[in-house]
Amino acid sequence: MSKKFDVIIIGAGAAGLMCAIEAGKRNKKVLIIEHTSKIAEKIRISGGGRCNFTNIYSNYENFLSNNKHFCKSAFSKYTQNDFIDLVKKYKIKFHEKKLGQLFCNNSAKDIIEMLITECENQKVEIKINTEIKSIIRKENLYTLRTLYQKFECSSLVIATGGLSIPKIGASDFGYQIAHQFNLKVTNLYPALVPFTFKDDILEFCKSLAGISIEASVKINKTIFNEGLIFTHRGISGPSILQISSYWKPESTIEVNLIPQNSMDKTLIERRIKTPRQNISNVLSDFLPNKLATAITNFLNTNLKIGEASNDTLKKISNFINYFTVLPTGTEGYKTAEVTLGGIDTNEINSSTMECKKYSGLYFIGEVVDVTGHLGGHNFQWAWSSGYVAGQNV
């Protein structure tokens, strides 16, 4: 015997839970199937445990997609203010950290508890530890089989997220389903992810592990001005995570270690003003001491600034303002916050999230080719796309 539901949602993450709540409000009989033992694990670990649940300024320009207009419809139907109102209704305390990023004061668990309560209010059934073995579509009805059970529904929502952090449940299930139904998936890349290096640049980064600065990083015309931190494997920090979404293997990135200052001019002025000062001491006026020394060691320019030639000063200023590096790669899905790419938006109706070719089949959240910048945008996409599907299932 199969158990019948109006809506079955695969994946109990941000998007799946939001969709379930909204479908439940429309009196739909909803089941969420989750293959791990816990729901909403990514919410729990997000924002350093405080969940950057949305961004005051979130709009379509904060997203990467083959069709950058695709997300507009969902955002117009469910905005960041709608989610903020929900958070306020639950009296969850939050604050703006910077750049419109809203974080819980207490813990990401507040958001999870809110979503669970909303699901309970709508009598949403959640089955954890449940692996789906097959999905068959026949006469607009979807039949799902697990090891021991059979489920049927007229609306099937794929909310299985991306590939990042497999140890807490990420899987390629959504892309497999797309493959089964002959739907296009764009190229997938780990994004919002640190860069790794090898050889001398790796040694340079390693020696500075833990040191952070405000930097500007650039690929073609895309620039992010935020923090950069050196790590034992390369570089990370908000500016690097942001630019990683624009990076393709074998391409370089340009890092400006002192974006507020053109060191070209400054070093020439300092050669006149303070000729007896070591170059590393001059650089220490703008950078952490350790980084200043590492730069002069790396460039073999450990001398008094008065003794430095124009070429030497140019070499230093270029290194600081136009540090062009070729990453070996990224830390990959093990640490990436998101997957860039996903189900091709051409396959999905942007105002319902339903698949154009198969009625009753929906894709929401990170599994779709809509990837946000760092700063609460990815959750906003999960809430908005989940909400929209919830109105249409």
Structure tokens at 155: 């609306």
Could you tell me if residue 368 is left (phi over 0), alpha (psi between -120 and 50 degrees) or otherwise beta? beta
User: Binder to ligand FAD among 8, 9, 20, 33 (CB under 6 A)?
Assistant: 33
x/- binding map, residues 67-106, to ligand FAD, per CB under 6 A? Answer: ----------------------------------------
Q: Name the segment binding ligand FAD (CB under 6 A); options: 4-12, 194-202, 223-231, 282-290.
A: 4-12
Question: Does residue 173 bind ligand FAD (CB under 6 A)?
Answer: yes
Question: Does residue 373 bind ligand FAD (CB under 6 A)?
Answer: no
Q: Shortest approach of ligand FAD to residue 46 CB, angstroms?
A: 3
3-class DSSP string for 19-42: HHHHHHHCCCCEEEECCCCCCCHH
Lookup result for tokens 């430095």: 308
Structure tokens at 250: 């074998």
Question: Does residue 376 bind ligand FAD (CB under 6 A)?
Answer: yes
Task: Residue 64: name the closest of 332, 366, 384 by CA.
Answer: 366
Question: Does residue 197 bind ligand FAD (CB under 6 A)?
Answer: no
Question: Does residue 160 bind ligand FAD (CB under 6 A)?
Answer: yes
Task: Name 234's bridge partners.
Answer: 196
Question: Does residue 382 bind ligand FAD (CB under 6 A)?
Answer: yes
Strands 3-10 and 30-33: parallel
Lookup result for tokens 């607009």: 140
Task: Residue 300: name the closest of 285, 288, 315, 284 by CA.
Answer: 315
CB 71 within 8 A of CB 384: yes
- C-alpha triplet 80, 333, 187: angle, nearest 5°: 80
Question: Does residue 190 bind ligand FAD (CB under 6 A)?
Answer: no
Q: Which is nearer to ligand FAD, 98 or 198 (CB)?
A: 98
User: Binder to ligand FAD among 7, 12, 193, 228 (CB under 6 A)?
Assistant: 12
Question: Does residue 240 bind ligand FAD (CB under 6 A)?
Answer: no
8-state DSSP, 80: H
**Side-chain-side CA neighbours of residue 370 (13 Å):** 34
Q: Name the segment binding ligand FAD (CB under 6 A); options: 33-41, 79-87, 236-244, 301-309.
A: 33-41
Q: Shortest approach of ligand FAD to residue 135 CB, angstroms?
A: 11
Q: Which is nearer to ligand FAD, 192 or 316 (CB)?
A: 192
User: Binder to ligand FAD among 21, 28, 30, 35 (CB under 6 A)?
Assistant: 35
Task: Residue 107: name the closest of 39, 53, 49, 47 by CA.
Answer: 49
Question: Does residue 118 bind ligand FAD (CB under 6 A)?
Answer: no
Binding interface with ligand FAD (CB under 6 A): 10-16, 33-36, 41-42, 45-47, 51-52, 132, 159-161, 164-165, 169, 171, 173, 337-338, 365-366, 376-379, 382
